[in-house]
């Protein structure tokens, strides 16, 4: 599903150049649930941004579902993001003045889907994350866990190839974190490819494979025995 070869990325900060990714090689097959770990500054967020086409690599190749991601203009990048990727953020990033239902419908809106169909689809995904009753509520009327579940529903709405989660439990307490992870595991069980960036060991062990990043290189990449979140709730 995802193939990355010799990926480099550096940031220019004033006169000095910061080499963040120093040759990343890494493949993800369909249906995998991978966590990317590393301390802050290890380059994990940068890697995720490149995977999410929010940022571009300086060198190396990136293939997503057999489509080479290279020299995209903004319009095509936007279309690819919409079609291939679903994003889950640490700070949820819901749009404050839109109801939960409308937030979930956003990717569908940008696909140009008609309103009626969009509402139906969004409702179905809200139901899937167990928030059908909260459809008309604004984000600030929801708890953190609920917000993240709305965000997950939104990420799923366009039926993307890959879900990218950037510290999805970073702003949540342990119990809620596990609930969210349970949901993510459930989605993965249905066959969706998911990448989770995290720095929490327990969260990482709820995935099937842990990739450890340090100073811009992968120091460890191993499959683990998945801990089911449900058992810990």
Partner 1 sequence: MFSRDKWNEIIESLSSNWFRTILTAFGVFWGIFILVILLAAGKGLENGVKQGFGGMATNSMFMWAQTPSKPYKGLPKGRRYNFKIDDVTAIKDNVRGLKFVSPRNQLGGFGGSNNVIRGLKSGAFNVYGDYPEIIQQQPMDITSGRFLNYNDIDDKRKVAIIGEAVKTTMYDSGEEVLGTYLKINGVNFQVIGTYKKKGNGGGNAEEAQKEIYVPFTAFSQAFNQGDLVGWMAITADSQHSITALKSDVFDVIKKRHNIHPEDTRAIGNFDLFQEFNKINGLFIALKGIAYFVGILILLSGVIGISNIMLIVVKERTNEIGVRRALGATPWSIRGQILLEAIFLTLISGMTGIIAATGVLAIVNSFLDKSNASEMMFINPSVDLGVVIIALIILIISGLLAGFIPAQNAIKIKPVDALRTE
Residue 97 touches partner 1, criterion: CB under 8 A: yes
SS3 annotation, the chain: CEEEEEEEEEEEECCEEEEEEEEEEEEECCCCEEEEECCCCCCHHHHHHHHCCCCCCCEEEEEECCEECCCCCHHHHHHHHHHHEEEECCCCCCCCCCCHHHHHHHHHHHHCCCHHHHHHHHHHHHHHCCCHHHCCCCHHHCCHHHHHHHHHHHHHHCCCCEEEEECCCCCCCHHHHHHHHHHHHHHHHCCCEEEEECCCHHHHCCCCEEEEEECCEEEEEEECCCCCHHHHC
Shortest gap between Cβ of 176 and partner 1 (angstroms)? 19
Total residues at interface with partner 1 (CB under 8 A): 28
Task: State which of positions 3-62 bind partner 1 (CB under 8 A).
Answer: 49, 52, 54-55
Shortest gap between Cβ of 190 and partner 1 (angstroms)? 21
Shortest gap between Cβ of 34 and partner 1 (angstroms)? 20
Give the residue, chosen from 82, 132, 161, 226, that forms a contact with partner 1 under the rule CB under 8 A: 82
Residue 93 touches partner 1, criterion: CB under 8 A: yes
Stretch that binds partner 1, among 62-70, 106-114, 130-138, 185-193 (CB under 8 A): 106-114
Residues in contact with partner 1 by the rule CB under 8 A? 49, 52, 54-55, 74-75, 78-79, 81-83, 87, 89, 91, 93-98, 106-107, 109-111, 115, 154, 158
């Amino acid at each position: 599903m995802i193939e990355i070869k010799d990926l480099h990325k550096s940031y220019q900060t004033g006169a000095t150049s910061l080499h963040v990714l120093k040759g990343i090689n890494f493949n993800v097959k369909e249906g995998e649930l991978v966590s990317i770990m590393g301390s802050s500054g290890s380059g994990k967020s940068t890697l995720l941004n490149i995977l999410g086409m929010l940022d571009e690599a300086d060198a190396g190749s990136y293939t997503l579902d057999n489509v080479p991601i290279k020299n995209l203009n903004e319009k095509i990048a936007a279309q690819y993001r919409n079609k291939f990727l679903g994003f889950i953020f640490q700070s949820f990033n819901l749009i404050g003045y839109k109801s939960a239902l409308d937030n979930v419908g956003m990717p569908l809106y940008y696909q140009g889907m008609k309103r009626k169909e969009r509402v139906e689809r969004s409702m179905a995904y809200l139901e899937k994350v167990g928030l059908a009753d909260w459809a008309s509520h604004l984000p600030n009327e929801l708890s953190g866990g609920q917000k993240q579940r709305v965000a997950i529903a939104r990420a799923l709405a366009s039926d993307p190839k890959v879900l990218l989660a950037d510290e999805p439990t970073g702003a949540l307490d342990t119990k809620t974190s596990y609930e969210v992870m349970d949901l993510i595991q459930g989605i993965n069980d249905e066959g969706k490819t998911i990448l989770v960036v995290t720095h929490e060991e327990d969260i990482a062990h709820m995935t099937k494979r842990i990739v450890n990043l340090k100073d811009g290189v992968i120091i460890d990449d191993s499959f683990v025995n998945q801990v089911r979140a449900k058992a810990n709730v």
